[in-house]
Amino acid sequence: MSMYLPGLISLGWTPVDIGPSTLERISSLLSSYKKILWIGPTSFDLTEEFSVGATQLGQILNKASHNSCDIILVGGAACKAVKGMSDSSSQYTASENESIVWEFLKGRILPGIAALDKSYPYQIPWDDVFSDTTQPLFVDIGSGNGLFLFQMARNWEGLNFLGLEMNEKLVVRCLQDVASAGKRNL
């Protein structure tokens, strides 16, 4: 195995991991950011031999999370790189299903959301629901008993959360819990 500086990989060669100079550059840049989105693997070969860079990047992100940086992990490789590494003071938002995130970032219409748009013909007065409608809205489709959303709403008061569930019993229970909690972001 040989190491090359970024941009100087010989024609026909395939990178297998990120190296120390790339990690150093990433580390120096990340200290000034408040939100970091990591999508996918850092290498083409996810064996232990070639995942040193991913593990070290996970350590860098763990350190950044202690400096009030929100870390969003997308994809199995990114989630695996930090699994078991973070302590109780580290906060990550993780999604192992990266295909839906790619579709969203490409600006494509997500089928579940499109179906909701078509099936609900009324205008929703969002200002009556959320205290600050300029904040991002996170939607949990199939939100079950709502416990996940309640925890998210407690952890991130500046964000809005919407749970969508078809089971009427669960919906009634969640609405009662929301009303009694007095939350204006859920």
pLDDT at 162: 80
pLDDT of 23-44, one tens digit each? 898 899 888 888 888 887 665 5
Q: What is the mean pLDDT of the chain?
A: 76
Same domain flag for 117 and 170: yes
The 3-class secondary structure across 14-62, one letter per residue, is: CCCCCCHHHHHHHHHHHCCCCEEEEECCCCCCCCHHHCHHHHHHHHHHH
Average pLDDT over residues 85-108: 72
Same domain flag for 33 and 98: yes
Provide the domain count of the chain: 2
What CATH number has the domain bearing residue 155? Answer: 3.40.50.150
Per-residue pLDDT for 140 more than 80?
no
- Pair 62, 88: CB distance under 8 Å: no
